[in-house]
Amino acid sequence: MSSYKELLSQIEALKQQAESQRKNEISSVIADIRAKMLEYGITVADLGSGARTSRSKGMTVAAKYRHPRTGETWTGRGKMPKWLQAEVNTGKRKEDFLIV
């Protein structure tokens, strides 16, 4: 029966072997894809990006909260800024800083 260390060594060797095989297969797959793209006249643009993007991504959003002394603002999206977190930690409510 194999020891624990021997099994770990075998696992590591198999991982390296699998990664090597993966790289070899990727090379042949890429070559096949290129050949088919040339054969059918397909361009990278024809494939599309595949990534779905939000319509609102990149759009600026009006500030929703403002610090009365410093004038710092926050839209209410993402992580709460340090200035607002500090005020909330002192017992104030986030709603106290709403821009009306």
- Convert 54-82 into a string of H (helix), E (strand) and C (coil): CCCCCCCCCCCEECCCCCCEECCCCCCCH
On whether the pTM is more than 0.75, the answer is no
Phi first, then psi: give them for residue 20, nearest 5 degrees.
Answer: -65, -45
Please write the tens of the pLDDT for every residue from 25-36: 999 999 999 999
**How far is it, in rounded angstroms, from Cα 13 to Cα 75?**
51
Please write the tens of the pLDDT for every residue from 12-53: 999 999 999 999 999 999 999 999 999 999 998 888 876 666
pLDDT for res 36: 96
Please write the tens of the pLDDT for every residue from 79-98: 999 999 999 999 999 999 99
CA distances from 19 to 13, 33, 40, 50, 81 (A): 10, 21, 31, 26, 43
